[in-house]
Amino acid sequence: MEETTLNNDIHVKLTEKFGEKVTAVSEPYGLLTFVTYKDVIVNVLSHLKEELKFNFLTDITAVHYPGKDHGIAVVYHLHNMVEKVRVRIKVFISEQNPTIPTATTLWKGANWMERETYDLFGVKFEGHPDLRRILNMDDLGVHPMLKQYPLEDPNRVDKKDEFFGR
């Protein structure tokens, strides 16, 4: 498979540069995915952008895994349009202190993506020029995509997964 060797190539180059800081490499559905840490995330992104030609930032979002040490995953999707490869980068940060350096220094387009992530998950992007809520009203007070905010009545039991054998 062509794509796999290409992914392997990227993986090798990243490991050469960042060593232990690039972990949990996997390839779900052919998309190279790895985990890195917030102290090197800007270096990783800029290395990918400048050296490995991932010049396009497709998306930034987050996922909440409550109850874990580092319960919020910030997820970046980058795209190398020339070689037609995508890569997914995850950074797990703590729920109590969800901060991560901003990517707006690399891509201006990261601005609103980070504002959306801040609005919905409360992730504070350090160095962001204008970190305000974007979709919700300013005085909402909570970050609604976090799992502790239920959409439906939490006392309702008829939809609990355990009643469906899960």
Q: Does residue 79 contact residue 54 with C-beta atoms inside 8 Å? A: yes
Nearer Cβ to another protein, position 22 or 64?
Answer: 64
Q: Which is nearer to another protein, 30 or 39 (CB)?
A: 30
Radius of gyration of the chain (CA): 18
For residue 26, the SS3 value is strand
In Å, what is the CA distance from 123 to each residue of 14, 86, 109, 115, 141?
A: 26, 24, 17, 9, 14
**Residue 95 or 116 having the CB closest to another protein:** 116
Query: Which chain residues interact with another protein by CB under 8 A?
Result: 28-29, 31, 33, 55-59, 61, 63-64, 75, 77, 81, 84, 86, 88, 107-113, 116, 120, 132-139, 144-145, 151-152, 161, 164, 166
Closest approach, Cβ 19 to another protein, in A, equals 25
CB of 39 to another protein, least distance (A): 24
CB nearer to another protein: give 17 or 90. 90
d(CA 121, CA 61): 9
